[in-house]
Amino acid sequence: MSEFWLYVKLGFGHVLDWTAYDHILFLIVLTVGYTFDNWKRILILVTLFTLGHTISLFLAAYNIVSVNSRLIEFLIPLTILATAVFNLLTSKGSSRSGRIGVLYGTTIFFGLIHGLGFSSYFNAISSNVSSKILPLIEFALGIELAQIIVVVIVVLLSFVVQTFFRFSKRDWILVVSSIVIGMVIPMLIANKIW
């Protein structure tokens, strides 16, 4: 039972690590445009991201996929930037339902990329385990729980800002996405591959 909590805590800490806040930034720009009324769609997006993350960890843990870590460290902030720019371009529309299939697909793809960024660490901590499937599932559970906490905070903050401070939804999406873009550009420059 203690090993179960070890991997759940590792997954939880992976998302909520303030020194490596790229995961949080992605979740912010992924969900800033949604309200509590959209909880099903938010849960699907978060779970798809976790699924992509877990698939890539599985593929890396069993040496099915091996990627250049410098490339992944560049692609992670690029996925955040792409999502934030998507928000800027679509903030005028009141609904994202027309593009939801694209959003679901890109979310799982971005989860794959983010998972590959953590694969070497996961392999190191699970190197003495004969089967990595159970630790992967436990780790994914920790990721999912932490992501739900982040998303609830984002949606709650959005509700407060839009309700009590009278920000329009569009303006809130533009402000938050622009701030995230400002935080991601230095990450891209620091991890440039050229």
Q: What distance in Å separates the CA atoms of residue 3 and residue 142, rounded to the nearest whole number?
A: 13
Each residue of 57-86: pLDDT tens digit? 999 988 899 889 999 999 999 999 999 999
Q: Is-above-0.85 flag for pTM? A: yes
Q: From 159, 147, 124, 154, select the one nearest 12 (Cα to Cα).
A: 147
Q: Tokens 């891209």 label which residue? A: 188
Domain definitions of the chain by residue range: 2-12+39-190
CB 40 within 8 A of CB 173: no
Each residue of 99-118: pLDDT tens digit? 678 889 999 999 999 999 88
CB proximity list for 192: less than 8 A, separation 6 or greater: 74
Give how far the C-alpha of residue 83 lies from the chain's centroid of Cα atoms, to the nearest Å: 10
Q: Tokens 């935080």 label which residue? A: 183
Q: What distance in Å separates the CA atoms of residue 22 and residue 31, rounded to the nearest whole number?
A: 14
Q: From 54, 74, 64, select the one nearest 118 (Cα to Cα).
A: 54
